[in-house]
């Protein structure tokens, strides 16, 4: 049910672009106005979300420690899994963000007869996630070639590396193959009983949206005749705030750029904000130096405590009888 709702949403979006451009001829709306609006909403939305998180303080230092703490000089502490310095935290965050360290720990628990509870290695999600995110990033960087003229060397270089295997003509990009494979894996795993049970439309929708974006991209690159020069003209126009919509760049392109626009708008409203959240998560981005350095709670307020005096007043007689020292004899 949840997957059907999401699939329907994506199909409607595709049809919108086809009808809008193909039938009504709203080239300018889909080629310029919506992309501009989407980009603006993305930037504003993203910043707004980050600020709204940052506005809430971190009252306590609640690091999840995943290794030996820093204590006695002769005990080796785990500088990356349980960092006690800022440098260590940067290292830990880098491992987390660039290589998905925590996901790498993933195991699969099973209860075998005996009973025997076993924990098997389970790195598929880690691999699939990493493959998807890295290829997505590289593809985004590759796309910058449309927006910049002359094309900077590093983009050309990335493109060369990506097409390293030089299969066929036009050159097949490694990341195109990887992202489609990874996305297929990521959506198929959601159809397993456990994942299907916990998945919401908000889990299927972005996957289907990105799959559609990737497919339209691949179609343009390898299958349909696409006017690359026209697309570059449009993209460069957008980037330089002098938008033009050249004739004949093809419907597939408009579907592609419309879906990307939807992704940009949807991004700050959704779980995709994990891109920002992962930097701010207090269990990972704080040093475990709790007993070394005081951490102040900005909203701390006094509470009603039970003082020693009140305690002694209540128990003076029995304390006296037990020979315990007293502040006041009566």
Partner 1 sequence: MSEDIKKPEELVQVDFKPPKKKWSDPSVEFKKGTYNFSALPGNLDYLSLYNPGKWYAPEEKWPVPENWQEIILKGLKERLDRYRSLKIFMDVCVRCGACADKCHYYIGSGDPKNMPVLRAELLRSVYRNNFTAAGKIMGKIAGGRELTLDVLKEWFYYFYQCTECRRCSVFCPYGIDTAEITMVVRELLSLIGLNIHWIITPAANCLRTGNHLGIQPHGFADSIEFAVDELEELTGIKVDAPINKKGAEILFVAPSADYFASPHYYTLLGYLALFHEIGLDYTWSSYASEGGNFGLFHSQETMKRLNSKIYMEAKRLGVKWVLGGECGHMWRVVHQYMDSLNGPADFLEEPVSPITNTRFENTKATKMVHICEFTADLIKNGKLKLDPSRNDQWTPTFHDSCNPARAMGLLDEPRYVINAVSNKFHEMPENTIREQTFCCGSGAGLGTDENLEMRLRGGLPRANAVKYVKDKYGVNILLCICAIDKATLPTLLDYWVPDTEVGGIHELVGNALIMKGEKRTTDLRGEPFVGKEIEKDV
Q: Report 28-67 residues binding partner 1 (CB under 8 A).
A: 49, 52-67
Compare residues 57 and 152 and give the one whose CB is closer to partner 1.
Answer: 57
Write the binding mask 72 to 91 for partner 1: x where contact by CB under 8 A, - elsewhere. x-xxxxx--xx-x-------
Smallest gap, in angstroms, from Cβ of residue 279 to partner 1? 10
Q: Structure tokens of 80? A: 């990356």
The C-alpha atoms of residue 232 and residue 213 are separated, in whole angstroms, by 18
Compare residues 84 and 232 and give the one whose CB is closer to partner 1.
Answer: 84
For every residue of 45-58, DSSP letters joined together read HHHHHHHHHHHS--
Write the binding mask 261 to 290 for partner 1: x where contact by CB under 8 A, - elsewhere. --------xxx-xx--xx-xxxxx---xxx
Does position 7 interact with partner 1 (CB under 8 A)? The reply is no
C-alpha dist (Å) from residue 317 to 195, 306, 322, 326: 63, 18, 9, 10
Smallest gap, in angstroms, from Cβ of residue 228 to partner 1? 34
Count of CB atoms within 10 A of residue 5's CB? 12
Compare residues 154 and 311 and give the one whose CB is closer to partner 1.
Answer: 311
Compare residues 179 and 238 and give the one whose CB is closer to partner 1.
Answer: 179
Q: Structure tokens of 228? A: 């690359």
The C-alpha atoms of residue 134 and residue 178 are separated, in whole angstroms, by 9
Q: Which of residues 204-263 bind partner 1 (CB under 8 A)?
A: none
Q: Which of residues 89-128 bind partner 1 (CB under 8 A)?
A: 96, 100, 102-103, 105-109, 111, 115-117, 119, 125
Q: Which of 296, 293, 283, 291 is nearest to 69 (CA)?
A: 291
């Amino acid at each position: 049910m949840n997957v059907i709702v999401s699939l329907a949403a994506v199909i409607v979006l595709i049809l919108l672009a086809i009808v809008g451009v193909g039938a009504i001829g709203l080239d300018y709306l889909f080629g310029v106005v919506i992309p501009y609006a989407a980009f603006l909403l993305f930037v504003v939305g993203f910043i707004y979300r980050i600020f709204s998180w940052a506005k809430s303080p971190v009252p306590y230092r609640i690091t999840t420690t995943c290794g030996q703490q820093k204590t006695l000089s002769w005990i080796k502490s785990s500088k990356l899994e349980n960092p006690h310095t800022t440098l260590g935290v940067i290292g830990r965050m880098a491992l987390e963000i660039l290589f998905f360290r925590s996901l790498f720990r993933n195991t699969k628990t099973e209860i075998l007869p005996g009973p025997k509870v076993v924990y098997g290695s389970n790195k598929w999600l880690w691999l699939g996630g990493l493959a998807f995110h890295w290829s997505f990033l590289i593809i985004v960087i590759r796309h910058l070639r449309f927006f910049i003229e002359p094309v900077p060397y590093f983009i050309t270089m990335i493109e060369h590396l990506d097409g390293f295997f030089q299969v066929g003509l036009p050159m097949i990009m490694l990341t195109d193959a990887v992202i489609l494979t990874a996305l297929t894996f990521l959506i198929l795993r959601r159809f397993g009983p456990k994942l299907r049970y916990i998945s919401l439309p908000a889990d299927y929708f972005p996957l289907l949206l990105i799959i559609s974006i990737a497919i339209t991209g691949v179609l343009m690159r390898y299958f349909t005749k696409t006017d690359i020069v026209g697309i570059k003209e449009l993209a460069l126009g957008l980037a330089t705030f002098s938008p033009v919509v050249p004739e004949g760049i093809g419907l597939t392109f408009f579907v592609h750029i419309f879906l990307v626009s939807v992704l940009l708008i949807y991004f700050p409203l959704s779980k995709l904000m994990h891109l920002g959240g992962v930097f701010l998560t207090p269990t990972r981005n704080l040093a475990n130096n709790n007993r070394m350095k005081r951490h102040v709670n900005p909203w701390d307020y006094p509470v009603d405590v039970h003082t020693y005096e009140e305690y002694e007043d209540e128990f003076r007689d029995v304390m006296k009888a037990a020979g315990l020292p007293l502040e006041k004899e009566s």
